[in-house]
Chain A
Amino acid sequence: MVGYLQGLGARSLGMFERLGRGAVFFINILLCIPSVLVRPRLLVAQLHSVGVLSFSLIVVAGLFVGMVLALQGFYTLSDFGAEGMLGVMVAASLVRELGPVVAALLFAGRAGSALTAEIGLMKATEQLSGMEMMAVDPVARIMAPRFLAGLLSMPILATLFSAVGILGGYFIGVGLLGIDEGGYWSQMQAKIDFNQDIMNGLIKSIVFGWVVTWIAVFEGYDAIPTSEGVSRATTRTVVHSAFAVLLLDFILTALMFGDI
């Protein structure tokens, strides 16, 4: 019993210690962001590997999620004779929830794991140490540009996901199921509010971008520099990011839409 309690205590202490180091690391990154802004090329290179390379995945996934939403929504809504509301349903689900959340989960799997593996391998092959000994701060040159790229890419990807999904819903709803085209768009425009829905979705995606990239970069930086350590860190990135995204989504949804 005492041993169990001791184990629990040690684990919680370890967790808090890691959380603390993560927070210090985050502050270090923030302090280094000005040095990234004077070297925009570093940022462009990372926007490519973090954002552009996730582009096709996000677009295809968004299209299919939108089409599935339209199919499923149609069969439910047609029971109430409310097929005209299909556009609203597709758009509201995408813009408020599925766009930011699914895009963030895919982003964690595609870009987050790649970031952790890359940084972990750089650590394992002494590249980070080598930079330090060349009097170059790896946090400023390696971590901060990647963090900033993730923070900027995530809202773009989530917006794309929602937009493509709404188009996918349009193809299924109007093209396949024969809903009135004008109704699809006009009902949507009547119901979706810019501040309430689109802006809140955007805020969600920025928060998710922050948390996923922070976890990914920190896990890489903190990885045990062996092949096993890096593979574990990569797994942790995906699991912790997914968990953090879903938890934060609940909190943000309660704050944003809770009082309606």
Chain B
Amino acid sequence: MTENKPLIKIRDVHFSRGSKLIFDGVNMDIQRGKVTAIMGPSGTGKTTLLKLIGGQLRPSKGSIEVDGRDVHKLRHAELYKLRKRMGMLFQSGALLTDISVFDNVAYPLREHTKLPETMIRHLVLMKLQAVGLRGARDLMPSELSGGMARRVALARAIALDPMMIMYDEPFTGQDPISMGVLVQLIKVLNDALGLSSIVVSHDVQETCAIADYVYLVSNGKVVDHGSPADLAQSESQWSQQFMQGMADGPVPFHYAAREYASDLLGVNE
């Protein structure tokens, strides 16, 4: 078995969008069976990292290996085969808006398997039961609240029994109850289905409650990593600022500007 080898190996990844450098040599190991959190301020390209792992974007340098295969050296068909074993939960849920909840969850099953309709029904109801929305199967996505849409998307992501799930900002914009539901779901599903989970988030409390390992990303680099307990004790000032949500620190309160006094006086350079 390859139990102790990491599921995902990210080595020296560089990526830029236009002239803006987003990743400048990122290294990460994502372990099997664990919940790994990637945290950082908004706009540090955390979602981009998930898209790189999923093969939707190509790094300009470096490599990403998922389950021993370099994602960006795979041919189209092989990449699609690998993606069937990856689940991804998008921030908006990304449900197909023109079909019902049931059909959304059934969609990957119908696309990728030739199972008879009765069996698809059983599977879909099972997945919906796991996220507690079996009763909502006939609703359309537009009738769901944001939290419910994410849970449906989660049911869809686990429909094909993937080896891993990537969560893109699962807690953003949720009320405390649906946040609690999602936190619990991520943990329970991870342990019950033997998944590996990657949670991208900037909600420190919720994420630390379930994460086994945390990477802090800022300015295109991994600035700190360790278990949540380690990070709480971290000596890095940046980590302290982020973990405790302080307004000022290594990340300044003020956006880079000229000196205040000279700006007020309107002195031109």
Contacts and interface: CB of A to CB of B under 8 A. Distances in A.
A and B touch in the complex (CB under 8 A): yes
Interface string B68-110: 0000000000001101101110111011110000000001100
Chain B interface, DSSP helix/strand/loop, else mixed: mixed
A135 B81 contact: yes
A187 interface: no
A132 B97 contact: no
Interface in A117-147: 122, 125-127, 129-137
Given A134-B107, A137-B80, A126 B92 contact: yes
B111 interface: yes
Interface in B24-72: 51, 54, 56
Interface residues of A, number: 13
B112 interface: yes
A229 to B, nearest CB: 16
A135 B80 contact: yes
A130 B90 contact: yes
A126 B54 CA distance: 14
Nearest to A118: B98
A129 B81 contact: no
B90 A129 contact: yes
A137 B83 CA distance: 11
Contacts of A131: 96
Nearest to B104: A130
Given A125-B94, A130-B90, A135 B54 contact: no
B91 A126 contact: yes
Contacts of A136: 107-108, 111
Contacts of A126: 90-92, 94
A225 B216 CA distance: 28
Contacts of A133: 54, 56, 83, 86-88, 90
A127 B111 contact: no
B56 A132 contact: yes
Contacts of B96: 127, 130-131
Residue with the greatest number of chain B CB neighbours at <10 A, chosen from A129, A133, A137: A133
A230 to B, nearest CB: 14
A126 B81 CA distance: 21
A127 B97 CA distance: 8
B83 A130 contact: no
A129 B111 contact: no
B90 A134 contact: no
B97 A125 contact: yes
B21 to A, nearest CB: 21
A132 B79 CA distance: 10
B94 A127 contact: yes
B86 A127 contact: no
Given A125-B97, A135-B80, A130 B88 contact: yes
Contacts of B111: 134-136
Interface in A84-137: 122, 125-127, 129-137
Nearest to B85: A135
B231 to A, nearest CB: 29
A136 B81 CA distance: 10
Given A129-B56, A130-B88, A135 B112 contact: yes
A126 B169 CA distance: 14
B108 A134 contact: yes
Contacts of A122: 97
A125 B111 CA distance: 21
B107 A125 contact: no
B2 to A, nearest CB: 23
Contacts of A137: 80
A200 B51 CA distance: 48
Contacts of B86: 133
A135 B94 contact: no
Residue with the greatest number of chain A CB neighbours at <10 A, chosen from B51, B56, B92, B156: B92
18 contacts: A125-B94, A126-B90, A126-B92, A126-B94, A130-B94, A130-B95, A130-B96, A132-B83, A133-B54, A133-B56, A133-B87, A134-B111, A134-B156, A135-B80, A135-B84, A136-B107, A136-B108, A137-B80
Given A129-B90, A129-B94, A130-B94, 20 more contacts: A122-B97, A125-B92, A126-B90, A126-B91, A127-B96, A130-B88, A130-B90, A131-B96, A132-B56, A133-B83, A133-B86, A133-B88, A133-B90, A134-B84, A134-B111, A134-B156, A135-B80, A135-B112, A136-B111, A137-B80
Which 3 pairs of residues, A with B, have the shortest CB-CB distance? A130-B94, A135-B83, A126-B94
